[in-house]
Amino acid sequence: MAQLFSKQDLLNTKWFIAEKLTSLLVAIIIVPKIFKSIGILNIGKLKFAETFISFFTPIMFLGLSAICIREIVFYPKRTKLILSTALYLRTASWLLALLIILTYSYLFIDKELLMLYFVICFSYFVRIFDVFEYYFYAIKKTKYVFISKISSLFIIVVLQYYGVIQQFGIIYFASLIIFDFLIQSTIYFGIVKTKNIFNFKDLVFSKSMAIYLLKNAFPLVISNFLILIYIVTDDFFLKYYHGDASYGYYATIYFLIITLTWSIGFSIINALFPSLAESYTSNLKIYYQKISLLIAYMLVLGVLIILIYHFFSNAILNTFFDESFLKINYSLKLFSWGPLMIFMGMIYEKHLITTNRIEKNVYRFVLGCISNLFFSIILIPKYAINGAIIAVLVSHFLTNIAFVFFDAKSRKELKFLFLK
C-alpha cells in the first residue's frame, strides 16, 4: 500500500481511523447504557426523530463535501472562495430546511415531541462550520479533525454518563448533539484563526462560485435524497406495522453494524479520496491501481466484520445489553453483510465524483429505492425486522455492486483494475 500511497496519505488515513476507532470504543461503552436508561420505546422515538430530520440533510448539506474537496485539490488557489461560498450556502440551506421541518412538525407531529425535533434540527445549524473539514481533508491534515472530534467526544461522554446516572430523558441526550457540534465548531474556528488559514474578512459570497458548486453538487443532492428514501423506507414501514419497540431494536442493530463498523471503511476511503483525485489528474494507471488496492482492503474489512458478528454477536449482546436484546441475535448476523456492499458502493461513488459522472449516482439509487420499496411492502408486514434487513441488503447489492455491471462504461472500466 505504501508503494502507491504517499506517507502523507497513510498518515492522513491513520488520523482518520484513530478518530473513528476512538469514537467506536467509547460508543460501545456508553451507548448501551443510554439505551438501557431511556428504554426501548424512547429509543424508538429518538431514533425516528433523527431519521425524520435526516431526510432533510441533502438540503442542509447540499452535497458540497466531496465537491469542495475535489475542487480544492484541483484548484488550491480558489480555496478561500470555495469555503466562504460554502458557508453562505450551508447557512441558507439550513434556514430553508428549518422552515419546512418546523412547519411540518407543528402541524403533524405530537406536540410533546416538538421540542425534540427542534433540538435535533438546530444541531445541524451548529454543524455549518464543518465546511473547514473540507479544507483539512483536501490538504491531508486530518489531525485537526481528530483533535476537534476527540476533544468534543470526551466532554460529551462525561455529560452522557452523567445523564445516565441521573436518568435524564431524551431531550437531554438530544441536546448533547448540539453541544457536541458546538465544541467541534469552536475548535475549528480556533484552528483556522490561529493558523491564519481563513480570515472572516475573506467571508465573501461569490454568485458564480455558488452556481458552479451547486451545479456540480446537484446530482449528489438528488442521490443523497434517494439514499435516504431507500434507507428510511424500511424504517417507516417497520414503525407503521410493528411500533416503536420494534423500531428501537432495529435502531440497535443499525448502531452495532453501520454506526460502529461502517465508520472504519468510511474513514479509509474518505482519507484516501484526495490522493485518488490527485492521481486521476496526473497518472491514470496509478489511479486505477489505487482503486484496485482500496477495493481489496475493503473486501478484507467487510469479510472480517461478517466473521466477527457471526461468531461473537451473542457475546456482544450479552455483554452490553440486557437479555431482552438477545432476540435480535440472528438479525445482527444477517445485517453484518451490509458493510461489505456499502464499502464497494462508496469506492464507486468516489470514482464517479472524480471522473465527473455523478449523475450515475442518481440512477443507481433510483434502482435502490424501487427495490427497497418493493421488498419492504412484501416482507416487513410478515417478517418484521428480518424482513426490513433483507429488503435493505437486496437494495445494497443492486445499488453498490450489480449497477457497476449494468452500466456499460463502468463495466468496461473494470479491466483497468487489473493493470500492473
Which stretches does DSSP call E strand in 267-343? none
What is d(CA 186, CA 206) in angstroms, rounded to the nearest whole number?
Answer: 25
Write the pLDDT tens digit of every residue in 315-335: 888 887 777 788 889 999 999
In which residue are the cell numbers 483497468 written?
Answer: 416
| pLDDT value at 104 more than 60 | yes
Quickly state the pLDDT bin for 308 (edges 50, 70, 90): very high
pLDDT at 33: 73
Cβ atoms within 10 Å of 22's Cβ, excluding its own: 15
C-alpha cell recorded at residue 39: 428504554
pLDDT at 11: 75
Quickly state the pLDDT bin for 1 (edges 50, 70, 90): low
Write the pLDDT tens digit of every residue in 243-278: 777 877 888 888 888 877 777 888 788 888 888 888
| pLDDT value at 63 more than 90 | no
Above pLDDT 70, what percent of the chain? 95
Residues 6+ apart with CB under 8 A from 241: 380, 381, 384
Quickly state the pLDDT bin for 111 (edges 50, 70, 90): low
What is d(CA 276, CA 348) in angstroms, rounded to the nearest whole number?
Answer: 12
Residues 6+ apart with CB under 8 A from 200: none
Write the pLDDT tens digit of every residue in 221-232: 888 888 778 777
What is d(CA 175, CA 32) in angstroms, rounded to the nearest whole number?
Answer: 18
Per-position DSSP letters for 191-207, written without gaps between them: HHHHTTS--GGG----H
pLDDT at 254: 84
Q: At what angle do helices 7-54 and 142-166 cross, to 10 degrees?
A: 40
Cβ atoms within 10 Å of 397's Cβ, excluding its own: 19
Domain assignments of the chain as residue spans, ordered by start: 7-418
Write the pLDDT tens digit of every residue in 131-173: 888 888 888 787 888 888 888 888 888 888 888 888 787 788 8
Per-position DSSP letters for 27-74, written without gaps between them: HHHHHHHHHHHHHHHHHHHHHHHHHHHHTTHHHHHTTHHHHHHHHHHH
Angle at 382 between CA 379 and CA 387, to 5 degrees: 40
Name the pTM for this structure: 0.72
Q: What is the mean pLDDT of the chain?
A: 83
pLDDT at 341: 93
